[in-house]
Chain A
Amino acid sequence: MWTGRGKTAIVGVGYSALTRHAQRPLGLLAVEACRAALADAGLQPAQIDGLATYPEAPFLGAGNRDGEDIVSVAYLINHLPLAPDIRWYAQIETGMIASPVIESVHALLAEACTYVLVWRALHQPRGRYGAWTSTRAAGEAQFVAPYGCTAIFQWHAMAWQRYMHRYGATREHLATFVVNSRRNANRNPRAFFYTTPLTREDYLAARWIAEPLCLFDCDIPVEGCVALVLTTAERARDLRNLPAYIAGYGQNTSRRRALLHYALDDYMECGGSLARKLWSSSGLGPQDMDAAQLYDGFSPSALYWLEAAGFCPQGEAYAFIQDGRIALEGELPVNTFGGSLGEGRLHGMGHIAEAVFQVTGRAEGRQVPGAAAVCAIDGSPMLRGSGVVVTKDP
């Protein structure tokens, strides 16, 4: 077991508004979310002496203007009245958003700083999402763009097609996951789809994006920001919220074998590389989780995680999710806040925030009774990812 287990905690969570097209620049949304997280923790900006983010733009070619397309560490140093001497910061582009949380834990354990702000800001460029507009394709794109195959959802569609073929899963199986996520989003006032229900019939009638993925298999891109405040367990006890202790973490470290993008075949090994560390560091296992927040940028990714993290055997997630097992009242509630499919595309930050709300008893109408340990895992397992386990007790 990891010696750092339970020695740090998430003590504040803040959201900006989540909308399709914000009227304010991304930088201001990030400032709003950070101020909300500080208020939630009962701290002043001047107490923040550590900063970390995962600043990457939502997709390749989406722009990198600071405060417009991304929000860097430098932006917040310049636009929030933080501690006069920032003692530690990091911009992490490995793993996903749990990775800056993990590095913040390291910084706190090393006593490099006392209170850390972590944020993830996502904008939505105007025009068609992820469009390939160039008539020339250089670099690795020269082997896919001339064939009309550049969109990440096409690669996810091919991975899911292979999964369906290999294990006998169908759209009807996947519908259960998406409808359950929407049902949970309907209990989450922050969710983009809070007031919009989705039935199985709606799902099965939805237009295709790239077969076998339809519109509702893709998360809903939003503009907005989520921020977290972390500190040591000792300091956490003096603050206004119950702390969500960081019990353990893992990052995807396995080598993927396919050079041209990624292949379904790698999901168990790559995802497993994260999960093994998640469980060994926390001293907990899948059977100890009271809920699981699993990345769902495209709905099948959450099913791959159920298998790669050991919640069910390989090839069985599509069957495991049936019969109410992953519902709020089920034996393993999954994506209790609606996931990226229902709350909005925050690249896994919503998953961490929800894990915190659940173990601190703050999940309101979607609270899992007595939730004491919840994991949040981001990324698609055959590609990358990072995850944390948070617990009610240190």
Chain B
Amino acid sequence: MADPCTRPLPVADDLSRPFWEAAKQHRLVVQRCQTCGYFNHPPRSACDVCLSQHLQFEPVSGRGTIYSFTVMHQPTVAGFAEQIPYLNILVELEEQPLLFMVSNLPFEEREKVRIGAPVVVYFEEVDAALTLPQFRVV
């Protein structure tokens, strides 16, 4: 995994703070519209489907499938130069079509990574202040 000192660290804001606070407690939550039921990720100020402001973070199963993946070979992202090549997977959570989260895996996992493969969330404790939701192939 990336060097915790240099990888870009998320800057929590009013919208995203509950997501990161929950991750610290090893819980995966996604903002959900209480009017129409749509999951918004990244979180919004108003529901992306119905514009309702009645939005709350709800726990999700942490299960999904690999929608797609790539092996990154360029040292484009600060903090990841030492990690290349590394894998990124795009996870489609089981709660809703095209509800995506990104995860990174070491290149050694390459053989396990296939489109449609089931994945489950785990939590990478980067430092005392930050825990990152990540996904691994089941």
Which residues of A are at the interface with B, using a C-beta cutoff of 8 A? 128, 130-151, 153-154, 157-159, 161-162, 165, 207-213, 257-261, 263-265
A375 to chain B, nearest CB (A): 29
Contact code string B79-98 (vs A, CB < 8 Å = 1, else 0): 11001011010100000011
Give Cα A145 to B130, complex, Å: 14
Interface size class of B (residues with CB under 8 A): 35 or more
Interface residues of B in 95-138 (CB under 8 A from A): 97-98, 100-104, 115, 126, 130, 132, 134
Which residues of B are at the interface with A, using a C-beta cutoff of 8 A? 2, 6-13, 16, 40-42, 44, 48, 67-80, 83, 85-86, 88, 90, 97-98, 100-104, 115, 126, 130, 132, 134
Please name the residue on chain A nearest to B83 by beta carbon. Answer: A148
Asked if A265 and B98 sit within 8 Å, CB to CB, the answer is yes
Q: Which of B68, B78, B102 contacts A260 (CB 8 A)?
A: B102
Known: A132-B8, A137-B8, A150-B77. Is A165-B72 also a contact (CB below 8 A)?
A: no
Give Cα A264 to B16, complex, Å: 26
Give Cα A140 to B67, complex, Å: 20
Asked if A149 and B104 sit within 8 Å, CB to CB, the answer is yes
Known: A154-B88, A162-B67. Is A146-B72 also a contact (CB below 8 A)?
A: no
Known: A145-B10, A147-B102. Is A259-B42 also a contact (CB below 8 A)?
A: yes
Give Cα A151 to B8, complex, Å: 13
Asked if A145 and B90 sit within 8 Å, CB to CB, the answer is no
The residues of B that contact A133 with a CB separation of less than 8 Å are 78
Number of A-B contacts (CB under 8 A): 144
Asked if B42 and A136 sit within 8 Å, CB to CB, the answer is no
Known: A154-B70, A208-B73, A259-B42. Is A148-B13 also a contact (CB below 8 A)?
A: no
Please name the residue on chain B nearest to A164 by beta carbon. Answer: B115
Give Cα A163 to B51, complex, Å: 32
Known: A135-B9, A138-B11, A260-B102. Is A158-B68 also a contact (CB below 8 A)?
A: yes
Closest 9 CB pairs of A and B: A142-B10, A145-B8, A158-B68, A148-B80, A157-B70, A211-B71, A138-B11, A137-B8, A208-B73
**Most B C-beta atoms less than 10 A away, residue of A128, A154, A261:** A154
A-B CB contact pairs (8 Å), 6 listed? A131-B76, A137-B10, A154-B88, A208-B71, A258-B100, A259-B41
The residues of B that contact A157 with a CB separation of less than 8 Å are 70
Known: A154-B72, A263-B67. Is A149-B10 also a contact (CB below 8 A)?
A: no
Asked if A128 and B76 sit within 8 Å, CB to CB, the answer is yes
B82 to chain A, nearest CB (A): 11
A69 to chain B, nearest CB (A): 20
Please name the residue on chain A nearest to B44 by beta carbon. Answer: A259
Asked if B73 and A211 sit within 8 Å, CB to CB, the answer is yes
Known: A257-B97, A263-B67, A265-B98. Is A207-B16 also a contact (CB below 8 A)?
A: no
